[in-house]
Structures are given as C-alpha cells and as structure tokens.
Amino acid sequence: MSLLRLTYLLLALAGAVLPMRHYLDWLRANGWSLGGMIDAWFVNAATTGMVWDLLIAAIALIVWALAETWVRRNWIALLALPATLCIGVSCGLPLYLFLRSGRVS
C-alpha cells in the first residue's frame, strides 16, 4: 500500500472516530434524540453555517462519487456514500479517495 493510500485510510479512520465520539457524548448527555441533535446544529449562526457548508460538501461528494463510479465501474467505492451520510464528509471523502486509488478489477 502506498503512503498516499495509507494517509487516506488514516484520515478516514480519524474522520470516523473523532466526530462519532462527540456525537455519542452529546447523545448520552442529552438523550438519544436525533431531532434534538439536529436542533443543536442550528443553535446559532456559526453552527448553522457549518452545517450548510458540510451539507453542500457532502452532496458534491455524493454526486461526484456516483458519476465517477458509473464511469470507472469501481463499485466498492460506493461504500463511501453511507459513511458520508451516517458519519460525515470527514470520513466519506478520505474513504472514497482510499477506495478510488486502489486497483479496479
């Protein structure tokens, strides 16, 4: 595995663990309510801006991954889509780059 692929993989792992740790801490402290968490994302202008920034980035990543996967037929790269939707761009993007940079069968 190349240094670049290893870097992508480490970033994907960090992008999964670090945000999820905070999500779980918040859910433990405030109840297991997804609606409550979404409300917290829009508590002020700074967090609202961050949510929109990440949402637009996630949509762009999903569109790109779908379009490129259709052309390259690298179906395994689509594993990055649930990672993006369930965890975030911080996991989905480096995971997609890791999967994309591997050999296509």
What residue numbers bound the domain in which 83 lies?
A: 3-100
Number of separate domains in the chain: 1
Give how far Cα 50 sits from Cα of 2, 26, 100, Å: 33, 17, 27
Tell me which residue has tokens 């918040």: 26
pTM for this one?
A: 0.89
105 part of a folded domain: no
62 part of a folded domain: yes
The pLDDT tens digits of the residues spanning 79-88 come to 999 999 999 9
87 part of a folded domain: yes
Q: What percent of the chain has pLDDT over 90?
A: 90
User: Over 90: is that where the pLDDT of 103 sits?
Assistant: no
User: Over 70: is that where the pLDDT of 105 sits?
Assistant: no
The pLDDT tens digits of the residues spanning 44-59 come to 999 999 999 999 999 9
